[in-house]
Structures are given as C-alpha cells and as structure tokens.
Chains A and B, each alone.
Chain A
Amino acid sequence: SAVISQKPSRDICQRGTSLTIQCQVDSQVTMMFWYRQQPGQSLTLIATANQGSEATYESGFVIDKFPISRPNLTFSTLTVSNMSPEDSSIYLCSVSVDETQYFGPGTRLLVL
C-alpha cells in the first residue's frame, strides 16, 4: 500500500489568485495522478504527473490552468491558477501501486 499526505487540507481563496497543493507519498512510485471532485459529484482525472517530463492532461484540462510539477518519485504539486468559484472542489492526489490506486485525503478548496 501507500500512505499519501496532502497540504493544505483545506483553503478559502479569492477569485483570480492561485493555490499550489502538495502531495507526498511514503514510498517511491512511478505513477501519480491528480483528480478533481466537484461538490456532490464523482471524481474526474485532471492529469497524470510524470517524473522528469511534462504531465499528461485529460480532455478539458490544460497546463496553463493546472500546472503540475513532479520533481521526484515521492512528491508532486498541482497549482490551480487564476481561480474562479467554479474551481471550488476537492482535489485528490493518487498513486498507482501494482494493480491498485491509493488516494490522499484531499484538499478542499473554496473560491469566493
């Protein structure tokens, strides 16, 4: 298994600002992912964070809005840029270990 921590756990931000969310894993993993869970909704994959190369974004998500860093095999960041109230969501980091995926506790973001 994997133990994943995220910072911050929650935040309230003003529109137009940016927030960087950190994800730390207790072991080296190849695959890390960022998901978004909008209020009352299911999870949607934003991107796959690749170590040593650019992230791979899913349809509807772009690098300018959600830049991602992956400096090593245990850490990644997701930035939510130029925020609007529509960005209010839970953002979850996930890692793939063998055939399973484990999730962090999530970052609850409210944009006013």
Chain B
Amino acid sequence: GEDVEQSLFLSVREGDSSVINCTYTDSSSTYLYWYKQEPGAGLQLLTYIFSNMDMKQDQRLTVLLNKKDKHLSLRIADTQTGDSAIYFCAEKTGGGNKLTFGTGTQLKVEL
C-alpha cells in the first residue's frame, strides 16, 4: 500500500541546518520529490531523486535516500527565515505518474 509519513513540525534557528524526514512504504517507488508550500501559495518543486540514487545535492539542499529503510530526508543548510514553509515529500509509484504525498512538515525558522 501507499503511505507516506512526516513529522508535523520542525523549529530551527536561522543559520542552522534543518533536516526534514519522510518515510514511505511502497518499495516500487521510482522517483521521490520534495515540494515547498508557502502560506497562500501553490506547491514549488524543490528537488527530486531517482530511486537508484542515495544522495543528491543542489546548492543548499541535500536529499538522502535509504531505500532499504524506505527513508527520505531533506537537509537545508544555513536555514533562512524565507525557508519557513510547509515541506511535502511525495513518491511516484506504479508505472504511472500518480504522486502520493506525505502529511507535510511545517518548518519554522526563528531569529
């Protein structure tokens, strides 16, 4: 079955690193994604990783994938107040293009 879970809240100080975690259950996932949703806005694609990779780095963002444990994480280096938002992980499963979204993690960056 498809079930994607995230912790609900994360609070960090400005300049620290943030790590947002995601667990999924479908071992047939092909791609995994991280989206950002700011208040009153749609979803912004941040980054994604193919299931045969274990790490991807893109500027301040680092994605780690542990396929054995079905665990995905997003690390944001030097977190800024503009990073405050809800972060969703999502997996693409089966042979199609359907995305199953996680519950979302609200990141709060404090001064």
Contact = CB atoms under 8 A, between A and B. Distances in A.
Interface residues of B, number: 23
Contact of A42 (B45, B92, B96, B103): B103
A101 B45 contact: yes
Chain A contact residues: over half helix, strand or loop, or mixed? strand
B101 A105 contact: no
Nearest to B88: A42
Interface string B32-44: 0101000011111
Contacts of A99: 30-31, 48, 50, 92
A30 to B, nearest CB: 9
Contacts of B45: 100-103
Contacts of A103: 35, 42-45
B48 A43 contact: no
Interface in B4-19: none
A45 B99 contact: yes
Given A99-B31, A101-B33, A106 B101 contact: no
B42 A105 contact: yes
B101 A100 contact: no
Interface of B: 30-31, 33, 35, 40-45, 48, 50, 88, 90, 92, 96-99, 101-104
Interface of A: 31, 33, 42-45, 48, 92, 94, 96, 99-106, 108
